[in-house]
Amino acid sequence: MEVARDVWGASVEAAGREWGHAGGIMTRQTSRVVRRSVVRDAKRSAWCPIVWSLLVLVLTTQTASAKPSTLRSVPELEAAMYSTIDGWPCVRLLTVNGEIGCSNPDRGLVISPIQRLESSQDAVLGNHAVLLPPSAYQGFMQRLEADPLLTEQVAGVLLEADNLFNGSHVLSQFSPAAKYPQAEWADESARGYVWNPPGSDLARKRFQLPVFLLNENGTRLMRSHSEHNHKQNFKHPLYVAEFDLVMYTTAHETPTTAECLAAATCLPLGGYSVLSSLPPLPPPNTTTPTKPVVLALASIDSASFFRDLAPGANSPLSGAIALLAAVEALSRVPGVKDGTLPNQLVFAFLTGESWGYLGSRRLLAEVAEGSAAVDGFSWDQVTAVLEVGSVGRAKRGPVNGAPDKATTFYAHRGKQQAASVSAPILTALTSAASSMPGAPSVQPASPDTPGVPPDSSLTSFLCQNPQTPGLVLTDFDAAFSNPYFQSFYDDVSNIDADVIAEAATLIARGLLQLAGGTLTSHLPSTNPGLVKDLVKCLLTPSPGLGCSLVQNLTTPLTASGFANHYVGILQEGPGPNPFPLDDTSRFLWNLLANVTGKTVNGSTCDGACPAGQACVGLTAAKKGTCLNATARYVPAYSTRLKWDNGWQLLPSPPGSKADPDPVYTESFWNQLHLRTYMAESPRYEKWVFISGLAVTGFAYLCQVSAKRVVEHRLKQA
């Protein structure tokens, strides 16, 4: 009755205010008489608010049963009713040929009861949100793709976390990539080759329903809710999942890259690669004679079915970490920074390679156009290309039957490339291996393969010139050794940091020879501590980008957690000061400039330095230092795109063969969320709605009645 008394008291107070405004000039005695009369009539009318309060109390019992006095605002009430689930969504991507990825089927939310399946073949008992263990995920998604009727029964898919980030995965292999990733770039006769045995190609399929990967807490909560629903035999009240995965391209019916760019409902995939060199490249319009160039490549992006969880630890980040450590080792060799070697070393860390070789193809285009991003670098100067692919899972085996273990790496060349063209690179690598403790082995890859592995940047160079003198160094021979290629399981537990450090030393010594140096003295050796730091910074959730190595060089947008290696999107065309830049590219730019650069006069900077210098180590807490170094951001986006106050899709050159470039774009969205709550049956909810209308109307009539009584007494007074 506390609520009723409060409401009645408020009514009396309101009546008093009405009387105070209308009473005019009265004697104190008259006012006491009138007040007694008003209070008496207000008490007679008090049954209206009392009844209203009781009805409200009954209707809100379920919502406020847990300490209703603590719910002091609408947000608190909403938090008590709904549980927001953290996770990673699958989003909608588009190509020139259509859609891939996931989306709500239309403009509205998807709300459906939660049902857990034990296996991929279990029956779906209605229009439900399906909760899947990892073992059932691939099989069930393949069922969805093959059976349109099943798709109509499934409102959404929730994938349980499988010991994410700790290495104890239930699945021994899982890859949503194709068996021959990016096969459209290969010769048609080779597209049936299996590079990726576990590949399912789910990442390039279209699903017209929402799909989320849950974190550990979300998995526990959803399991509990699904158990409740099973015990209820799926009779209300039930726990439901509410998906907000509405994509602009779906809502506006723009299902291709050309249509969505024209309608401004998407943006192209892309980012910024990083170019560096030892010693610094000569400034433009210089009289310094150019040297032959040895180009070293590594990729810094990966892909995943879930956009924001693409760790790419082995494929390709192990190669990028090995090359970074090799650059640091070379920078300590006397004469390398000073330019006394006959050849120039250039390093390119490319992004977008998983999405149509965006980085390497754009790099070649920028060189051909002579853009400022590649000043001082010409393709005509390149005499050798060494790409570092995945190296973090290289196998160790006995050496000539002895108990000692040696690591084996493989060198891949183009199918049409003459063996003699890349022979000097292979010779440099084998010589480098023989100079190392433990004598790792470098073997030519099997001649039965179609050539360089998919996702290798060298593919772009070979498309331009099949006789490009280049090799790709990897930890596998005829098929990927990575059982988790382009999946969220390709995390730090999937690599061996010691093997990466060994590969880095091999690469450094091989590059030193290709640059004209010798292995007689001052042998470059990798700093194992740097390799471990890079692994912690780029591949672990903690410290992640919060590590001291990153924090000393730049202030990342993501202060902790995974450095996600999804390529991202380009909001605008390239410019002299690209923004926004992803954390990985910005960190690599600073690290490479710091390692390869030389201090000029120690001057500090807020971002700008004289020509030929780079402002290194600028953070939110301190100024940077100007170093004489080459560190460039090179845009990475499709060569079929042009920026002219908006992105435009260019036609394929007339008379040329079909361009295999899919031109990937990503749909806009407002927000992406997943939440769960207990829902009554639709019939019950309609009854509550009608009852609410009735209570509201009844309360209004009571208020009008009480007001008229008060006004009548005031007039009599």
The percentage of the chain sitting over the pLDDT mark of 70, rounded to a whole number, equals 85
263 located within any domain = no
- Residue 685's pLDDT is what? 67
Respond yes or no on whether the N-terminal peptide bond of residue 237 is cis (omega within 30° of 0): yes
Angle between helices 497-514 and 528-539 (to 10 degrees): 120
pLDDT for 13 equals: 42
Predicted confidence band at 432 (pLDDT cuts at 50, 70, 90)? very high
Mean pLDDT of 55-80: 59
Q: Is position 563 within any domain? A: yes
DSSP letter, residue 327 = H
In this predicted structure, the answer to whether residue 703 has a pLDDT above a threshold of 70 is yes
DSSP annotation of 314: I
- Helix-strand-coil split of the chain, %, nearest 5: 40, 20, 40
Residue 654 lies in a domain: no
Average pLDDT over residues 88-95: 98
The residue with greater pLDDT, 286 or 222, is 222
Judgement on whether residues 30 and 96 belong to the same structural domain of the protein: no
Q: How many CA atoms lie within 13 A of 64 on its CB side?
A: 15
CATH number at residue 369: 3.40.630.10
Q: Is the pLDDT of residue 654 over 70?
A: no
Q: What is the mean pLDDT of the chain?
A: 87
Statement to judge: residues 129 and 152 lie in one domain: yes
Which amino acid type is present at position 320? A
User: What's the angle, vertex CA 707, arms to CA 704 and CA 708, rounded to 5?
Assistant: 85
Asked if residue 100 and residue 65 are part of one domain, the reply reads no
> Is pLDDT of 428 > 60?
yes
**Which among 448, 156, 504, 137 has a CA at the least distance from the CA of 327?**
504
Residue 337 neighbours by CB under 8 Å, 6+ apart: 278, 279, 331, 596, 598
Query: Lowest mean pLDDT: which of 14-23, 478-487, 708-717?
Result: 14-23
Q: What is the pLDDT of residue 655?
A: 56
> Could you tell me if 144 and 203 lie in one domain?
yes
The answer to whether residue 590 scores a pLDDT higher than 60 is yes
Residue pair 132/157 in contact (Cβ under 8 Å)? The answer is yes
- Residue with the bigger pLDDT between 703 and 285: it is 703
Is 657 within the bounds of a domain? no
pLDDT in tens, 664-693: 999 999 989 999 999 876 676 677 778 888
Same domain membership, residue 51 and residue 189: no
16 pLDDT exceeds 70? Answer: no
Whether 684 is covered by a domain: the verdict is no
**Number of domains the chain is built from:** 3
Q: Give the angle 78-83-85 at the CA atoms, nearest 5°.
A: 135
pLDDT of amino acid 656 = 56
- Is 362 a member of any domain? yes
Q: Do 336 and 434 have their domain in common?
A: yes
pLDDT computed for residue 580 by the predictor: 80
Q: What is the pLDDT of residue 41?
A: 46
According to the model, what pLDDT value does residue 287 have?
63
State whether 590 and 707 are in the same domain.
Answer: no
Q: Identify whether residues 513 and 392 lie together within a single domain.
A: yes
pLDDT of residue 611: 85
Under the banding of pLDDT at 50, 70 and 90, the label for residue 649 is very high
Confidence (pLDDT) at 397: 66
Asked if pLDDT for residue 713 goes beyond 60, the answer is: yes
Fill in the DSSP letter of residue 440.
Answer: -
Is residue 531 one of the residues assigned to a domain? yes
- Residue 501: pLDDT over 60: yes
* DSSP assigned state of 546: G
Do 95 and 113 belong together in one domain? yes
Q: Which long-range contacts (CB under 8 A, 24 or more apart) does 32-41 make?
A: 33/717, 34/713, 34/714, 34/717, 37/713, 37/716, 37/717, 38/12, 38/710, 38/713, 38/714, 39/12, 39/15, 41/709, 41/710, 41/713
User: Pairing state of beta strands 470-474 and 382-388?
Assistant: parallel
Looking at the DSSP bridge assignments, the partners of residue 350 are: 299
- Domain shared by 298 and 250, yes or no: no
473 in any annotated domain:
yes
Residues 600 and 621: beta-carbon distance below 8 Å: no
Confidence of residue 403 (pLDDT cuts 50, 70, 90): very low
Q: What is the pLDDT of residues 453-467, one digit of tens each?
A: 999 999 999 999 999
| pLDDT surpassing 50 at residue 51 | no
Residue type, 444: P
Q: What pLDDT sits at residue 19?
A: 37
- The structure's pTM equals 0.87
Q: Are 15 and 91 within one domain?
A: no
Q: How confident is the model at residue 398 (pLDDT cuts 50, 70, 90)?
A: low
Question: Same domain, yes or no, for 391 and 340?
Answer: yes
Q: Would you tell me the crossing angle of helices 47-59 and 682-716 to the nearest 10 degrees?
A: 160
pLDDT higher than 90, residue 444: yes
Range of the domain at 48: 2-81+689-716
